[in-house]
Amino acid sequence: MAVVVPVAAAVVDVVAPVAVAAVARAATAVVVTAVAVVVTIVAVVLVRTMAAKS
């Protein structure tokens, strides 16, 4: 068992930053997508409002 703990610690040291980076990338992608959707909706509403007024 004495060998398992350092090996596990080393694996965690290697995997953790990669996992954090992957989660951060995924979260960024979700936020960017959400912002794009909101901007698109706002643009459509504005265009329809302008069209209705003219």
pLDDT per residue as tens digits for the range 3-54: 778 888 898 899 999 999 999 999 999 999 999 999 999 999 999 999 999 8
**Band of residue 1 on the pLDDT scale cut at 50, 70, 90:** low
**What residue segments make up the domains of the chain, in order of their start?**
1-54
Query: Is the pTM above the cut of 0.85?
Result: no
Q: How many Å apart are CA 17 and CA 29, to the nearest integer?
A: 18
CA distances in angstroms from 43 to 7, 30, 35, listed in the order given: 54, 20, 12
